[in-house]
Chains A and B, each alone.
Chain A
Amino acid sequence: MKIGTAKHSYQADEALLTTRPQRLWMGLFALGLCIAPFMLDNYWLYLACLVAINVASATGLNILTGYTGLVSLGQAAFMAVGAYTVGWMQLRLGTPFLLNIVAGGIVAAAVGLLVGLPSLRVKGLYLAIATIAASIILHFVFVNWQSVTNGNSGLTLTPATFLGTPLTDYKQLYFVFVPITALMVLGAANLFRTRVGRAFIAIRDRDISAEVLGISLLRYKLTSFAISSFYAGVAGGMWAYFFRVVTPESFPFVYSIFFLAAIIVGGMGTILGAILGAVFMTLVPELLRFGIDWLTPVLPNAAAMLSPVRTIVFGLLIVGFLIFEPKGLAEIVQRTRRYFHLWPFKK
């Protein structure tokens, strides 16, 4: 049973982590992140890097869709913009790693602003469809703007160099990606402690009364698009350094659905939700692989089933969470916390 906490300042009341156990858990988690690379093998490090990339992008989409209520099916396309920017800058300009990543974010944010323009005219599903249109147009640009994107063969990058070391193996990439993602998540959490974040939520909940309060819909909807695509661009930049090949097919439409699914499964409009969702949705296909490997002795052609089964499970997760747990994994976590706070007085 947890007893109410008494706080002595507003600052303490508005901190990100308000209780001692929360701070303790967060400390343990950070420690875990630091020592994990020394415990994990290469395969799991590969997954950890991928998770970091996906968490960054999902957090961005969550700002736009979960908090501002603007549904976007273009997150993968914005990642592609970031990835191409990074690839182009590395190959043509030879600029340093961090600069490229930030530039990737900024270019993606600029494209995001442009794509966000219809959001001033249309809402909801119409907007979602406008972002599909934008993805298709961007894909066309990637294929046909030969001089920059090298068409269908795409760009091949050399390993990134950071602080004089080339980032060639997953452990090195991990130590760069995880801090970047952590910073981005922290930024998102901070955002919602201030007027900017509150304005986003106000637009999601009731855009007309938001306007009465002096919140400019134009400005904040576009800001939300810009931040979200900045996050996507940075994630895409990391992706480019991770796989080192960027082609028009690297960021298919289904990858955009993946991010939307991640925030649904994780819990829309919560910081924790985007993280949990991205981790979960990245790891489930891998767990399925283990399941299929395990089945192979019994079912000879089980390996061929992997891809369809992943597709089915992906769909089932979206549908299942929407019907049975619409607030996602974050809500399950909250419920568990509440249960232990009240234990043993309430079941």
Chain B
Amino acid sequence: MSDLLFFFEVTLAGLGSGALLSLTALAFVLIYKATRVINLAVGEMLMLGGYLFFAFAAGFGLPAWAAIPLAIAGGGLVGAVVERGLIRPMLGESPIAVFMVTIGLGSILVGLVELIWGTDPRALPAFMGNTPIFIGEAYVSRKIAIAFAVAAVVIAVFLVLFRYWRGGVALRATATDQAAAYSCGINVPGVFSLAWVIGCGTAAGAGVLLGSIGGISPAMGVFGLSALVVVIVGGLDSVAGALVGGLVIGLIEAWAGTYLGGEFKLVTTFGLLLVALMIRPYGLFGTTEIERL
């Protein structure tokens, strides 16, 4: 097999996991844009999504077409409860405090999952098939290809909704100026809830995709850390940044993991993150925050 073909295959795999990163990062950005909360528990929401799917598909024996929406709805429901119970009381507190609340939330979720399902990694019931896909001569795992396609469709739908749907417009208005949006009759608390429901639902969906590729375990929330790099590099409040950043980080992780060795994956991305922070502190596409005297 030629080196070039191998490189092409690695690149395709990188794009696949990059799409998942984009999707997770999108969940992140959605919540940040609407509520200015950095939700560090997004990785744990993703893990929870994987386990919910496991529970519905393996536990109750539901078919995949029923279990997937249920897992996503479950994630959204948890998002709503979290927003109402933990985030709203923190309204007006320092961003750091809210950030710490989400760290605490992550810990609670991990503990709960361990308590219910144990700490051993598990495989999700297969629902995507195993026949590999070939692009030209390059081999792509069928699961990664499907994950990429699903992520791409979901992201496209999001972009359209963001632009044209009333809820999307309300969300953008809230992101720009909460007080102004409120006085224009936009139900700002409603937008907050909506953002958390959609964000956590999206993360849960990403968890199903991720889990079906690599299996699930309580530690899979680490994926959220890579997504964190994506949003920091792309800009916390930028949807475009999440998309581009996700693909870029996915590619870099794939290349670094293949050519340098698995242990270089995280360190390369985080090294990159440091460089990005020093050069463009507010991300490639993010808005600079200006402090007034």
Contacts and interface: CB of A to CB of B under 8 A. Distances in A.
A309 B119 CA distance: 13
Interface of A: 71, 117-118, 121-122, 124-126, 128-130, 132-134, 136-137, 140, 143-144, 208, 257, 260-261, 264, 305, 307-319, 322-323, 326
Interface of B: 38, 86, 89-90, 93, 95-97, 99-101, 103-112, 114-115, 119, 225, 228-229, 232, 263-264, 266-267, 270-271, 273-274, 277-278, 281-282, 291, 293
4 closest cross-chain pairs (CB), A and B: A315-B107, A318-B104, A312-B111, A311-B111
B89 to A, nearest CB: 5
Contact of B99 (A125, A134, A140, A311): A125
Contacts of B96: 71, 124-125, 128
B273 A125 contact: no
7 contacts: A118-B278, A133-B274, A136-B270, A308-B114, A308-B115, A318-B107, A322-B100
A121 B277 CA distance: 8
A326 B110 contact: no
Nearest to B267: A140
B93 A326 contact: yes
Dominant SS at the B interface? helix
Contacts of A143: 263
Given A208-B293, A264-B97, A312-B107, 8 more contacts: A125-B96, A261-B100, A310-B111, A312-B108, A312-B111, A315-B105, A323-B89, A326-B97
Given A118-B278, A323-B89, A133 B271 contact: yes
A318 B101 CA distance: 7
Contacts of B281: 121-122, 126
A118 B110 CA distance: 31
B267 A124 contact: no
B104 A122 contact: no
A175 to B, nearest CB: 35
Contacts of B263: 140, 143-144
A20 B90 CA distance: 39
Contacts of A208: 291, 293
A268 to B, nearest CB: 9
Contacts of B86: 319, 323
Contact of B95 (A124, A310, A317): A124
A312 B107 CA distance: 6
Contact of B115 (A122, A125, A312): A312
B38 A134 contact: no
Contact of B266 (A129, A136, A316): A136
B25 to A, nearest CB: 13
B232 A129 contact: yes
Nearest to B109: A315
Contact of A136 (B90, B111, B267): B267
A315 B113 CA distance: 13
A118 B281 CA distance: 9
Contacts of B282: 126
Contacts of A313: 111
Contact of B101 (A129, A137, A311, A323): A323
A317 B119 CA distance: 22
A323 B105 CA distance: 12
A307 B114 contact: yes
A146 B262 CA distance: 17
B277 A312 contact: no
A191 B174 CA distance: 43
Contacts of B99: 71, 125, 128
A136 B108 CA distance: 23
B90 to A, nearest CB: 7
A261 B107 CA distance: 11
Given A136-B267, A305-B115, A315 B104 contact: yes
Nearest to A115: B274
B270 A264 contact: no
Nearest to B97: A322
Of the listed residues B89, B99, B107, B112, the one surrounded by the most CB atoms of chain A closer than 10 A to its CB is: B107
Contacts of A318: 100-101, 103-104, 107
A314 to B, nearest CB: 5
Given A71-B96, A125-B99, A310-B111, A319 B277 contact: no
Contacts of B101: 318-319, 322-323
Nearest to B293: A208
A314 B96 CA distance: 18
B271 to A, nearest CB: 6
A130 B104 contact: no
Contacts of B90: 322-323
A133 B111 contact: no
Contacts of B114: 307-308, 311
A292 to B, nearest CB: 12
B100 A137 contact: no
B93 A126 contact: no
A322 B277 contact: no
